[in-house]
Amino acid sequence: MDAGLINILMLLDLSAAFDTVCHEILISRLSDIGITGSALSWLISYISDRKYYITIQGFRSATASLTQGVPQGSVLGPLLFIIYIYPLGDIIRRHGLQFHCYADDIQIYLTTSSDRLSLPDSLTECIRDIKKWMSLNFLKLNDNKTEILLIGSTASAKRIDQSFDVDGIHVKPSSLIRNLGVLFDSTLSFGSHISSLVKNSFFHLRNIARLRSSLTLADAETLIHALITSRLDYCNALLLGLPKKLIARLQYVQNSAARVLTSTRRSAHITPLLHDLHWLPVASRIHFKVLLLTFKALNGLAPQYLSD
């Protein structure tokens, strides 16, 4: 941001991605990455001869065979889909762009000068090639849900046209996008993300408070960690360096959770309570996550792009 550059993040959304996977192409991809013999036969058996039916108001349709797709909600489903689309990486790299894929969530990003008035040609050409590849592989981009976020200073973002046509996709940059459950804004302030996080956490905490008298201490703590702590910890490394007033809002959530768990009055000092529960404060949890990622990156335990 300080250098006057703009970062362009494009999130691609696929229509019914898992349902349109071609079994023949998937089997070919599995062979390409070295899966053969009994392992390949097992996977072929897993995706073959699957059947389905539809039930509406007690009426059940006839059973039909599934000739395409991979099971959603399964452990193998996302992994098989990632293998299915792995050639996309070569297409994106060919255009000199960076990308990440998480199952059917594909994000492409690049850094460019804020003096530009339009998207770089490399991005538009890349999207064109991606759409062609998807058409050949029975996949389809959901044009209405494809989003662009311009990350930079407010002044830099204003220099770029505020609507684009990318190979027939009309895209207007969003001021806020949800990326794998995290709300990103154009200046990476994460203020909206924290507001949403606080709201959702207190919704669950109020429900737990209503049930607290019927729960054991262990059961209540399990619920709090499942519904509150997990939210506070999710992707919290992104929050490092944010203003203390934003982190204080998250700390208030944790403090409230500790008081609900122990049935402690609001006037009681919170530090001894957190210490007795062995709960790290929110700011310390953020630093711990960053240190953990750093350790993994330095010791070859993290993804390559982090280690580099």
For 213-266, write each residue's pLDDT tens digit.
999 999 999 999 999 999 999 999 999 999 999 999 999 999 999 999 999 998
52: pLDDT strictly greater than 80: yes
Q: Are 66 and 50 in contact (CB under 8 A)?
A: yes
Q: CA torsion, points 151, 156, 159, 165, in degrees to nearest 10?
A: -10
The structural domains of the chain, with segments of one domain joined by +, span 1-188, 191-298
Neighbours of 122 (CB within 10 A): 15
Q: Residue 70: pLDDT above 80?
A: yes
- The proportion of the chain whose per-residue pLDDT surpasses 90, expressed as a percent, equals 70
Higher pLDDT, 187 or 120: 187
Question: DSSP secondary structure string, 111-147?
Answer: EEETT-SS--HHHHHHHHHHHHHHHHTT--B-GGG-E
Q: The pTM is what?
A: 0.87
Q: pLDDT higher for 130 or 153?
A: 130
Q: Per-residue pLDDT averaged across 168-177, rounded?
A: 81
Across 85-105, average pLDDT: 93
Give the residue among 222, 220, 182, 218 at the shortest CA–CA distance from 200. 182
**Region 90-115 average pLDDT:** 90
Checking if the pLDDT of 161 tops 60, the result is no
Least confident stretch, 86-90, 167-171, 176-180, 212-216: 167-171
The model's confidence at residue 277, banded by pLDDT at 50, 70 and 90, is very high
Closest CA to 7 of 122, 98, 110, 153: 110
In whole angstroms, what is the distance from residue 184 CA to residue 10 CA?
12
Q: Residue 76 in contact with residue 39, Cβ under 8 Å?
A: no
CA distances (Å), 174 to each of 108, 121, 184, 197, in order? 15, 20, 10, 20
What pLDDT is attached to residue 305? 85
Which pLDDT score is estimated for 117? 59
Is the model's pLDDT at 67 over the cut of 60?
yes
Query: Which pLDDT score is estimated for 33?
Result: 95
| pLDDT score of 83 | 96
Return the pLDDT at 172: 78
Q: What is the pLDDT of residue 162?
A: 62
pLDDT of res. 68: 92
Q: How does residue 145 score in pLDDT terms, banded at 50, 70 and 90?
A: confident
Q: Is the Cβ–Cβ distance between 186 and 157 less than 8 Å?
A: yes
Q: pLDDT tens digits, residue range 7-23?
A: 999 999 898 889 999 99
Instruction: Identify the H or E element spanning 31.
Output: helix 23-32
Instruction: Say if residue 121's pLDDT is above 80.
Output: yes
Cβ pair 84, 17 in contact under 8 A: no
Measured between alpha carbons, how far is 108 from 8 in angstroms, rounded to an integer?
8
